[in-house]
Chains A and B, each alone.
Chain A
Amino acid sequence: MRTFATAMTTAFLISLFAIVSPLEDTLVQQLPPITVAAPKECIQAERMASAISAIPYSMLHKNSTFRPNALSSVIPGLHIPDYGASLTSTIYMRGLGSRMENPVMGLYIDGIPVIDKNAYDFDWEGVSRATVLRGPHGTLYGRNAMSGVLSLSTFSPCDDYRPTIRLEYGTANTVRVGISFTAGRNALSATFRHTDGYFRNSWKNEMCDPYNGLALRWKWVNNYNDRLRLTNSLSANISSEGGFAYGKWQDGVRNPVSFNDESGYKRLSVINGVSLHHNGDRIITDATASLQVLADDMHMDQDYTPKSIFTLQQKQMSGAGTMEISIRRAETGSVWQPQTGLFSFYRRNSLSAPVTFMRDGIETLILNNANSHIPTDIGRLVISDTEMPVNSDFMIDSWNAALFHESVFELDRWLITAGVRLDYEGGTMDYDCMARLHYRFEPVMKADRELSVPYKGNVSHSHFEVLPKLSVLFRASSEITLFGTSSKGYRAGGFNTQIFSDILQNKTMTATMTDMGVYPDRPFVSVTASDTGYDPETAWNLELGTRIHHGRFSAAVSAYYMDVRNQQLTVFPPGMSTGRMMTNAGRSRSMGVETELGWAPGQFRSHLSYSWCDARFVSFNDGNNDYSGNRLPYVPGHTLHLTAGYGFNIGSKTLDIDASLRGEGPFCWNESATQKEPFRLRAGARIALVFNDWEFYVRADNLTDEPGNSFYFKSMGNEFFASVKPRTLMTGITIKL
């Protein structure tokens, strides 16, 4: 077997992290002149005809960016609201996104795709770089890369990295401890976070959102020879938290959080990925494979009020396997740089989601509805149960297979990229549901009658997508590049499981009536299992952009237009509904401008990330209202992140002072735009005393305690809001050993 040149490979990897650009301290780099590599591209990121943001370790550390949602607004057009629990990882990018089901952004950690969206919100330590490819990147990244790809790179044992210990303490009794180091062929990191919580449940008089979480990461790299490298990356996250701090909106005021039933979320996520890199004389081969396991358990007071109406538990155990192999030309200076690859994954998810109707819920949601169909002089339906469980068990299998190719042609100053992906995805869902109750019809029936309402079956779906891409990059000078791109992405379809409690609720009412031999004139309206599938959502993107580097000034501007078909929207189904479901509700479009500016003369540093986005329905009629022309809900019209800082040299130490402004909005919270949130700015600051081997810092977010809402939804006719976090102050110390 022929040997491979590890020297070239090692140098390539080290170049990813050894940023020596004068823009090193800029918050977000726009393609520094050395190298930034996106996970799958066969060319360096600076030569990609795409909008890219890369945040180096120094800035991730300085801004305590240790979770994906901390990138919100730092990356222009990216909005990841902080609400609910780690389960509710909602991502909006360039106007696209949704509150549930599949995300619009792919997540890669060291080249391994994270399949389960429930694993998207996690704490990290030892991440050397966060790279975001903005816009659809379906050709190379496939499913769910419809608005972008977030790629996290962790430190390698090959890096020149000093062991680091970090301790933080602050508001809400929040403690964060992190450690990362390399040893031989290993790079290890661990982080622990605890918080008492930021929001009080006035009913229980206790904090409703405490958090405890531990994240571990181990990366092992072995260069067998100068051509072959094997990497194993193992990450594990375990957490236990409260959450769902939603206050009811009433008379124009958001009430304090107040609910009586159990709410919380526990999760264990383990991802192990193996990567093989082989440098051949003619072909470079990259192969990855991963096993991913996620087990979680969520409890939710689903009415979010002190009444005992209904509760939800959602418990799942999922396992997934991914495999990808790609080959590309070893010769880097040739006119034609092709890349071809195969991708596949399989996931099995066992999900149990019982909904328990409590006494108030039985009265409100079932009996009041049923008896509204029966004249009072005839009688009334009575259910004697104090609790009525509706059990729903699901077994969901998903699979995907894809073949992709991308060719890059370099012609003098021109780089032309063309590619296509053939992507097939399918899935099946076995559902097994059961509702049981004891009822009687007064005054006719003298005794309770037991009734069981089973609902069992199977639904399936499959889809085939062709995801092409064509882009052109022109190097006008050594400092200016121009690009244009057209690409397609998609977000996978799936099945609505959350709506089954509604289906069973309506079937129970119908079955109760039928059991009595009574047939209401107005049947109980409900969707059926065959309606629970939803199709993929696709987006075409047209984009023009430019990147400028001039000394210590950098700028990147891009303008885009995205056309979305079969948009997946969360709607409330017909009938007396308590759940929500995803459906393909028409067509929308999103257009906007994104910019990143950086200027770092001397010890001064500044950076601006800004986006303007106008995302609207082209056609959307939910059967009751026509929302065509209205803004898409939950999408900020602007995102802004402005930072400025200066480092004062004081002898052997440095006093770093940084200030920031973060802004998002305005938002329309619903399709009808009856609920809105204005654009709000929140200030932040950081003061650090930096020594050679350690630093002490104080950091503040939302310094002026600017109020606002981060999330909105409606349930049972009630409106709820989640508040943004209040002012937080953190002190910390970082030690490099």
Chain B
Amino acid sequence: MKRTVFILVAIAAALVSCDKIESDKPLEESAVRSDSLFYSGTLLANASSGDCTTPDMKVSINLTFKSDSVSISLFKAKLAQRMPAMDIVIPNITMKKEADVTLLTSVRAVPLAMGNEFPAYTVTGFNGRINGDSLNFSLSFGSTPTSFNGKIIK
């Protein structure tokens, strides 16, 4: 049943593919397509300057029509204490269904922030799981190990 729902959602109108994200438009929650899945949870970034936690942070998984590639949007994420919170999009995440769990993986991806690529914080080792209402993932933003644990927003 969950698989059926997931496929239906995946078939829905897709986002513009990541490499065509319009850099001249701000990133807003309302701009994310309705076939996105929204989660709220805690982001923990183990920055060299000290751990930085963003509680109640929203994450959206943005589905692409007829594709197993998704992008993940992090809203108001703080990666270090000295940095302002930012909206970040991680493109080209591979999504794969295994039994009751959906796996999200990416070896390497250049995130987008402020409408442009942010190579200083290139994402490596992205591993995530959607299990029921929960979303968990870990990655490295540049040299900063980061993890997220959250629940779906219904």
Complex formed: what's the CA distance from A152 to B59 in Å?
A: 71
A446 proximal to B (CB < 8 A): yes
B137 proximal to A (CB < 8 A): no
Residue count of chain A within 8 Å CB distance of chain B: 19
Inter-chain contacts of A513 with B (CB < 8 A): 84
Q: Which of B24, B116, B117: most chain A CB closer than 10 A? A: B116
Interface residues of B in 68-86 (CB under 8 A from A): 76, 82-86
Complex formed: what's the CA distance from A514 to B86 in Å?
A: 9
Q: Is the CB of B118 within 8 A of A517?
A: no
Inter-chain contacts of B23 with A (CB < 8 A): 445
* A-B pairs with beta carbons under 8 A, tally: 49
B123 proximal to A (CB < 8 A): no
Q: Which of A375, A446, A516: most chain B CB closer than 10 A? A: A516
Q: Is the CB of B82 within 8 A of A516?
A: no
A713 proximal to B (CB < 8 A): no
Q: Bits for B107-144, please: 1 = Cβ < 8 Å to A, else 0.
A: 00000011111100000000000000000000000000
Q: Is the CB of B85 within 8 A of A445?
A: no
Q: Is the CB of A518 within 8 A of B85?
A: yes
Inter-chain contacts of A434 with B (CB < 8 A): none
Q: Is the CB of B84 within 8 A of A445?
A: no
The answer to whether A445 and B114 touch (CB under 8 A), given A518-B86, A519-B86, is yes
Q: Is the CB of B84 within 8 A of A521?
A: yes
Within the complex, the shortest CB–CB distance from B30 to chain A, in Å, comes to 13
B35 proximal to A (CB < 8 A): no
Q: Is the CB of A449 within 8 A of B84?
A: no
Complex formed: what's the CA distance from A375 to B87 in Å?
A: 16
Closest B residue, CB atoms, query A374? B84
B26 proximal to A (CB < 8 A): yes
Q: Is the CB of A516 within 8 A of B85?
A: no
The answer to whether A445 and B86 touch (CB under 8 A), given A514-B26, A517-B26, is no
A378 proximal to B (CB < 8 A): yes
Q: Is the CB of A516 within 8 A of B76?
A: no
B27 proximal to A (CB < 8 A): yes
Complex formed: what's the CA distance from A374 to B113 in Å?
A: 14
Inter-chain contacts of A517 with B (CB < 8 A): 26-27, 86-88, 113-115
The answer to whether A373 and B84 touch (CB under 8 A), given A444-B113, A449-B115, A519-B76, is yes
A409 proximal to B (CB < 8 A): no
A515 proximal to B (CB < 8 A): yes
Closest B residue, CB atoms, query A381? B114
Inter-chain contacts of A514 with B (CB < 8 A): 26
Interface residues of A in 459-518 (CB under 8 A from B): 513-518
The answer to whether A516 and B26 touch (CB under 8 A), given A444-B118, A445-B114, is yes
Inter-chain contacts of A374 with B (CB < 8 A): 84
Q: Bits for A405-442, please: 1 = Cβ < 8 Å to B, else 0.
A: 00000000000000000000000000000000000010
Residue count of chain B within 8 Å CB distance of chain A: 18
Interface residues of A in 703-729 (CB under 8 A from B): none
Complex formed: what's the CA distance from A733 to B82 in Å?
A: 75
Complex formed: what's the CA distance from A444 to B119 in Å?
A: 9
Complex formed: what's the CA distance from A444 to B27 in Å?
A: 15
Q: Is the CB of A446 within 8 A of B116?
A: yes
Complex formed: what's the CA distance from A602 to B117 in Å?
A: 94
Closest B residue, CB atoms, query A519? B85
Q: Is the CB of B83 within 8 A of A449?
A: no
Q: Is the CB of A518 within 8 A of B84?
A: yes
Inter-chain contacts of A373 with B (CB < 8 A): 84
A678 proximal to B (CB < 8 A): no
Q: Is the CB of B26 within 8 A of A518?
A: no
Q: Is the CB of B83 within 8 A of A375?
A: yes
A520 proximal to B (CB < 8 A): yes
Inter-chain contacts of B85 with A (CB < 8 A): 518-519, 521
Complex formed: what's the CA distance from A310 to B31 in Å?
A: 36
Complex formed: what's the CA distance from A240 to B57 in Å?
A: 59
Inter-chain contacts of A519 with B (CB < 8 A): 76, 84-86
Inter-chain contacts of A521 with B (CB < 8 A): 84-85
Inter-chain contacts of B117 with A (CB < 8 A): 444
Q: Is the CB of A516 within 8 A of B83?
A: no
Complex formed: what's the CA distance from A518 to B114 in Å?
A: 7
Q: Is the CB of B114 within 8 A of A444?
A: yes
Inter-chain contacts of B118 with A (CB < 8 A): 444
Inter-chain contacts of A520 with B (CB < 8 A): 84
Complex formed: what's the CA distance from A516 to B84 in Å?
A: 12
* Chain A to chain B contacts (Cβ below 8 Å), 7 pairs: A444-B115, A444-B118, A449-B24, A449-B115, A517-B86, A518-B87, A519-B86
New A-B pairs, 18, CB < 8 Å, besides A517-B26, A517-B88:
A373-B84, A375-B82, A375-B83, A378-B84, A379-B114, A441-B114, A444-B113, A444-B115, A445-B115, A515-B26, A516-B115, A517-B113, A517-B114, A518-B85, A518-B114, A519-B76, A519-B85, A521-B84
Listed from nearest, the 10 A-B pairs whose CB atoms lie closest are A517-B87, A519-B85, A516-B114, A444-B116, A517-B27, A520-B84, A515-B26, A441-B114, A444-B114, A518-B84
